[in-house]
């Protein structure tokens, strides 16, 4: 009984290319009580491996968070299997607006403490007492209300390349940081303002809305299905698109373009650019924004030092990395000191200003 991958990413990519079949990129989540996440994890792997599902799925006692791709011809079979699981029957599936057959190259189903690393003590509040879900049309109306405060619940490197007009985009590195920051800034408006939140697919807002209701906010809303679902509704219903730029996604695509606006800059030369990449030096792997010109000039590296390293024989590069662990820069996501046009760290009290 196979419970783990036995193919490398390279081997899988070759099989996908040879098959020549269209794959759909899908995400979904569901908060539910799972008694034995390990058994559930194994069940999912065995079932989804048969459908040629690839992706990154987190399972915990509190539920499931899935980002994956599946051959279009297997979609109905995959959906039918989801419907056999009581708490996943008719679960909302966020289907990407831009597909990439190579978005995922392995099926990884992992058991985690939580399906989102939120840093919260769930025993201190009722996580099921969530805010009001609104669709794209309702959302567009809400954010035009002068009594609405629209907050982006994502991290700085996500909102840097795209966000809703007039949204507050906290300059934070983690979801947990934004929770206290927003509460402090809006503590005088818990009853008179409408707190409207959004994120990539809705999962972060689900927990945040319950948290803020616990903290005394009376009017809490979240965008149903996040930016992914919003973009599809805007297209299918002919609604005004209030999102500018690109939506950052956590797979090989890096992002989906929602509007033609380019609102970010290359972290190396400052020219307009909104394509994230990882430094080609495997010992660095820094995530940053790089334009095509700098990519060619720098060999897809974030610095001349990394550029020199990748020119060394591979075995020598491995020897340099041995015992070193990852550079701290890997966690800075565009904030490394050697990037001249990195996003500035603003004063914490200036972060909660509409963009």
The CA distance from 347 to 231, in Å, is 32
Question: Cβ(317)–Cβ(282) under 8 Å?
Answer: yes
Which distant-in-sequence residues (6+ apart) come within 8 Å of 355 by Cβ? 159, 163, 166, 167, 168, 169
DSSP-derived secondary structure letter, 330? G
Most distant pair of Cα atoms in the chain: their distance: 63
CA-based nearest residue to 32, from 127, 119, 141? 127
Output the CA–CA distances (angstroms, integers) from residue 92 to 114, 202, 274, in the order listed: 20, 11, 29
128: left (phi over 0), alpha (psi -120 to 50) or beta: alpha
CB-side exposure of 249: number of CA atoms within 13 Å? 33
Choose, from 199, 205, 266, 302, the residue flagged as catalytic.
199
Under DSSP, is residue 208 helix (H, G, I), strand (E, B) or coil?
A: helix
The CA distance from 263 to 272, in Å, is 7
A 10 A CB-CB count for 338 gives: 14
199 assigned to active site: yes
CB-side exposure of 82: number of CA atoms within 13 Å? 21
Q: What is the phi/psi pair of residue 266, to 5°?
A: -60, 130
Q: Which residues are catalytic, by number?
A: 199
């Amino acid at each position: 009984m196979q419970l783990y991958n036995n193919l490398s990413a390279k081997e899988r990519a070759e099989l996908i290319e040879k098959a020549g079949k269209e794959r759909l990129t899908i995400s979904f989540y569901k908060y539910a009580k799972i008694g034995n996440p390990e058994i559930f994890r194994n069940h999912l792997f065995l079932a989804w491996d048969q459908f040629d599902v690839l992706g990154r799925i987190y399972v915990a006692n509190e539920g499931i968070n899935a980002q994956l791709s599946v051959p279009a011809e297997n979609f109905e079979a995959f959906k039918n299997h989801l419907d056999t699981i009581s708490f996943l029957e008719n679960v909302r599936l966020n289907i990407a607006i831009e597909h990439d057959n190579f978005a995922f190259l392995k099926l990884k189903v992992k058991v985690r403490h939580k399906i989102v690393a939120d840093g919260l003590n769930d025993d201190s509040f009722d996580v099921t007492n969530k805010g009001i879900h609104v669709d794209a049309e309702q959302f567009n109306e809400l954010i035009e209300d002068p009594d609405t405060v629209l907050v982006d619940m994502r991290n700085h490197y996500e909102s840097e390349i795209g966000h809703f007009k007039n949204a507050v985009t906290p300059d934070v590195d983690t979801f947990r940081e934004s929770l206290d920051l927003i509460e402090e800034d809006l503590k005088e408006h818990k009853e008179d303002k409408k707190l409207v939140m959004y994120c990539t697919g809705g999962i972060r807002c689900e927990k945040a809305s319950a948290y803020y209701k616990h903290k005394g906010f009376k009017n809490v809303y979240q965008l149903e299905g996040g930016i992914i679902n919003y973009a599809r509704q805007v297209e299918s219903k002919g609604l005004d698109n209030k999102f500018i730029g690109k939506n950052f996604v956590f797979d090989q695509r890096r992002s989906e373009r929602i509007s033609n606006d380019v609102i970010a800059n290359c972290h190396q030369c400052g020219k307009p650019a909104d394509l994230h990449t990882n430094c080609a030096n495997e010992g660095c792997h820094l995530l940053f924004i790089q334009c095509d010109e700098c990519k060619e000039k720098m060999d897809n590296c974030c610095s001349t030092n990394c550029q020199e390293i990748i020119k060394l024989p591979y075995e020598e590069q491995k020897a340099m990395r041995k015992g070193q662990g990852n550079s701290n820069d890997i966690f800075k996501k565009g904030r490394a000191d050697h990037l001249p046009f990195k996003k500035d760290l603003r004063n914490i009290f200036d972060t909660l200003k509409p963009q």
